[in-house]
Every structure is written in C-alpha cells, then in structure tokens.
Amino acid sequence: MPPKHPAVRGTAAVLASGLALTLIAASPATADTPLPEPALFHEQEIDWTPCEEEILSSLECARVEVPLDYSDLDGERIELGVLRIPATDPEAARGALFLNFGGPGGPARLSATGYAGTELNEVYDIIGMDPRGVGASTPLDCDVDFPMMSPRPTDAEVSAHTRETIRYSRACDAAQGELRRHMTTANTARDMDVVRAVLGEERLNYLGYSYGTYLGAVYGSLFPERLDRSVLDSAIDPDEIWRATFMNQAPGYTEGVERYAEWIAEQNDEYGLGSTTTEVMDTFHTTSARLTEEPRTDVPGMGGEAYDGAFFDASAGEYARYQESWAETAPFLAALALEEKEVPPPPLQRELPDIDPTLYASNMDLFSALVCEAEWPRRISTYRQDVREHRELYPFGVGAFFAAVQSCTFTEYRPTEAPVEVTRDGYEPGVIIGGEFDPQTPLAGSVSLAERLDGPLITVTDDGAHGFYLPGVGAQDPYPCVREKVDSYLIDGDLPDDTTCPGRPRPTSVTDVPDEAPIAPLWEPGRPLPQAGPVPTAPIG
C-alpha cells in the first residue's frame, strides 16, 4: 500500500478537508463491565514447534486461540501468533516477560528476538505475541490503500484526502467491519492474559514501548493481581487517547527542527544556511516551497522518483530528532537548500532485509481500527480548522497528518466498549521512562502516566529519540544509565527513585559523526521498518 509520498510513511503526514459533514454516533458500553471468565481458553494446550519463517526457524512458535468477542465466548475464534525464547538460566528463571513494541499495529515476534541472549533472557522467558490483527495472528486486512498525504497540504489536497479517507473507511467497514470493532486495547490485554494462563504463569512481567505503555497500563487495570514487574518506555497519557495523543506529536517535530536549525546556524561557515535560527528556518521553508514547485529527480536512493517539499519536510523533522547525527544529516539538507548540482546520498539509510514483510511491516488497517476505541470528532469543520493551524505552525515531521480526518471520523460501526479507566490498584508500581524531546510520545505523557500509576519516572534529558531501554544492543547502548536502572529493577527487583539519565550528545563540530546510525527499535504508525530511503529509518528490536 505505497502512499503518494513514501518518505511520509516515516512521519505519517496527511490532511483534512473542507466538506461540511456531521455524523452522529452512539456511546459504547464501558470496558469496566464484567465479562465472563474465558476458562475454556485458559485450559488449551500449547504446542511449541519451530517457527515457520526461515529467519525464526531456530526459535519456538505456537498459536493460541482466543475469542473474537470476550462477551460471547461461544462465538467466533481467532488465533494469536506467539514466539518464546526460554530463559537461559532455568535455576534463576522468574517467569515470562511479554514484549510490545508499539503502534498500535506493530507485530512483536521478530522484535522480541533482539532480546535473546541478554541478561534479561537469563532470567525471563521472552514472549513476543503478535497482537490480534497483525503478523502471525488472525490478520485484519481491508485490501485497500491507506490514505496519506503531505505534511503541509494545499486546500485541494485536503479535500482529496477527505474523499480518500471516506472511501477507505467504507471499504474497511464492508470488508472487515465485524473484525474491526473488536480490535481494542482491552481485547489485546485480555488476549495477553489468555496466553499467560496457557503458559502456566500465575503472573506475567511486561515491557512495553510507546503504544505498548498504554497496553501495559490497561492490562494492569484489568488484571492487577496478574501483573508482576513492568516497564513502560516512552509513555502515552491515558487521558488523551487517541486524537490528542497523535496531534500532540506535531509541535515536538517542529520544535526539534528549530533546535536543529540553531545548531546549523552555529556552523554557518560550513553550511551557509543562515547565521541565526530564524534565518535557517526561513531557508527550510523556502526550500520546501521550491521543491514543491520544482521537485528534484536526481536525489540518490530515490530511483528517479521526484523528491519534493513533502519529502523535505518529513526528512527535516525526522533528522532533527537524532541530534547525535546532525553533522551527518545537515550536508544532505544543505545541498538541497543551496540547489547544489550533486546531492550526497541520503544519510541513515537502511537496507531492506530479504524477510517476510509480515514480520516487521506496519498494519495501518489495524491502527485505523484500534484507535476508534475512543471517540473522534464527527464535524469536518473541526478537522479543517486544526489542519489549517498545524500546517502553518507545525509543518515538519508528521505535520498536519493527525489534525486531519481519519478513518474513525467516518466509520459506521461503534466500538464494543469504552476505553478502560487506567488505574493502579492491586499491583506494585513499575518503571516509566520518557525522553525530554521525544516528539512521538512527548514527555508530558510519561509524566502523566507516572503520576497516574504512582511509579518512578526516568527522564532522558536532551534527547529526541523514542525508546530508551535497549538491552539488545550490547556495547552500542547509547543509554547505559537507563539500562543499569531498568536491569536492576527487572532482574533484581530494585525499584529506582525518580531520576534523570543523559541523552545522546549533540555534535561538537561538523566532523563529529557517530560510528553507527541512530538506534530506534520501535515501530510506529506509518513507519514500516526497516526500510531503505531518504528518510532515516531504523531496525526493530
């Protein structure tokens, strides 16, 4: 499902329209309504066999049946794909550690392999469960392209995008309506608990990133007596799901570009884009406008495809967040801004591995269904005004995408239940982690969740990355402070106090280039990873 601008897949940029539409929706039931205990599903036997995929064939995989609708246990069943990496020190083993890498819409099995052989794996069985709807689990596939557009669209683009979103929503409802309405965080949490029971575990341990932080908090709210240790990295504010969560990304991307521009201005003798932050930002805006009117077709890595203003806006927003690589990425943007005849190869490219895409690829159909578990505005005028503001104030990175209409604006079905009220009542506090300049999950979300759950917060200062606990990267770990504190908690049970850890340093000169590209192990909506291209991408796991 390639969008018009592949670069925007890394930043999920789109726009809304000027149609005067109003739709009325009924309120769903509360998720706190007691549901029957799925004991029959808890009693199924799990059959571990070598994983079917060649890249995973040395590992154990299994399938677990769960009800599509937990209020109708005799109804339709779906399957979950599960991977297990047994603890390497059975005598020290303390149960299962479930992993979720975000999205919503990201698979987990391939990502979980990055934790094999770590200190965590000595004491934990690593469990990668593909959530319902994605990967090896029963898939949600609308068989229609997901509508995507540029970060700062014209009014004509906004109108066209709205029409495409209506078409997409109706097609998905027609093809997968019954499945879509049961794609909720609460049901995914219930699926986790079925897998826990099938594994024979009284309690599970949990490590979740990004959307996975919300999933973990929901699991603890629904099953407090079954949650042991938990780490929630790059957290989401449970009071802001879902439209506000995603709209709050846009300011962070543009603020990151402003910090990037400040550094570039300090290196004006090298780059020539301006001697002040304002001058560099003006250069970026001018470059975007020029490339929109006159795209370049000679940018390396593009295969002759036009590199236009949408690519530039998305690239600038994404490059800005990885500040340790500014000296590597700035020459590429400068060459475009100064209209140089030869543009250097796009930095931070990744080679696309020859593996089954379902192991790592985004599922925007699942994303577009799950976020409908919360209410979305039904008046098009609301989106139209928000898009106008975002494209003017926050044109980089995701830009106006999440200010625009989404599938939830038009879908005909309503969710089966309202979102779970997140609480911590009956289980011990876990660790929450947030990055000071993370645009995808702004620090305020981690602060809010830490307050809600009354757990310690580790704040990573002066860093725009997303996901900071990286036990699988070994000596390359850019956040040893985070790793030390989280390992001490997960392995030894030592809960840290609120604290700060340093982020990756900014370059000290134009030649200060890191040996390795930034490590960003998480999956996010619109970011099929890994992927080669002019926008920086990163491996999962």
Q: Cα–Cα distances in Å, from 152 out to 334, 374, 401, 403, 427? A: 21, 26, 9, 11, 45
Rg (CA), the chain: 23
> And the tokens for 529?
């990873």
Q: Find out whether the peptide bond into 242 is cis, omega within 30 degrees of 0.
A: yes
For the chain, give the mean pLDDT. Answer: 87
CATH superfamily, region 6-247+363-502: Alpha/Beta hydrolase fold, catalytic domain (3.40.50.1820)
Give residue 526's pLDDT: 33
Q: Strand pairing partners for 80?
A: 64
Q: Which helix (H) or strand (E) holds 208?
A: strand 204-209
Q: Are the CB atoms for 207 and 233 separated by under 8 Å? A: yes
In the sheet with 204-209, reading across from the earlier edge strand, the strands are: 49-50, 60-67, 77-85, 125-129, 96-100, 204-209, 227-233, 431-435, 457-461, 499-502
Give residue 248's pLDDT: 95
Instruction: Report the first-to-last Cα separation within the chain, whole angstroms.
Output: 24
Residue pLDDT, tens place only, 278-320: 999 999 999 999 999 999 999 988 888 999 999 999 999 999 9
DSSP string over 184-196: -HHHHHHHHHHHH
Q: Are the CB atoms for 451 and 424 separated by under 8 Å? A: no
Q: From CA 485, how far away is CA 441, in angstroms rounded?
A: 21
DSSP helix/strand/coil, 431: strand
Give residue 20's pLDDT: 26
pLDDT tens, per residue, the chain with 541 residues = 333 333 343 333 322 222 222 222 333 445 555 567 788 899 999 999 999 988 888 999 999 999 999 999 999 999 999 999 999 999 999 999 999 999 898 999 988 998 999 999 999 999 999 999 999 999 999 999 999 989 999 999 999 999 999 999 999 999 998 899 999 999 999 999 999 999 999 999 999 999 999 999 999 999 999 999 999 999 999 999 999 999 999 999 999 999 999 999 999 999 999 999 999 999 999 999 999 999 999 998 888 899 999 999 999 999 999 999 999 999 999 999 999 999 988 775 555 455 566 666 668 999 999 999 999 999 999 999 999 999 999 999 999 999 999 999 999 888 789 999 999 999 999 999 999 999 999 999 999 999 999 999 999 999 999 999 998 777 788 999 999 999 999 999 999 999 999 999 999 999 998 776 554 433 333 333 322 233 332 222 2
Q: From CA 23, how far away is CA 377, in angstroms rounded?
A: 9
Q: Strand pairing partners for 296?
A: 307
Domain ranges of the chain: 6-247+363-502
How long is the chain? 541
Give residue 5's pLDDT: 38
**3-state DSSP percent of the chain in helix, strand and coil, to 5:** 40, 10, 45
Query: Could you give the residue numbers annotated as active site?
Result: 210, 438, 466
Q: Are the CB atoms for 352 and 531 separated by under 8 Å? A: yes
Q: From CA 514, how far away is CA 53, in angstroms rounded?
A: 34
Residue pLDDT, tens place only, 354-374: 556 666 666 899 999 999 999
Give residue 354's pLDDT: 59
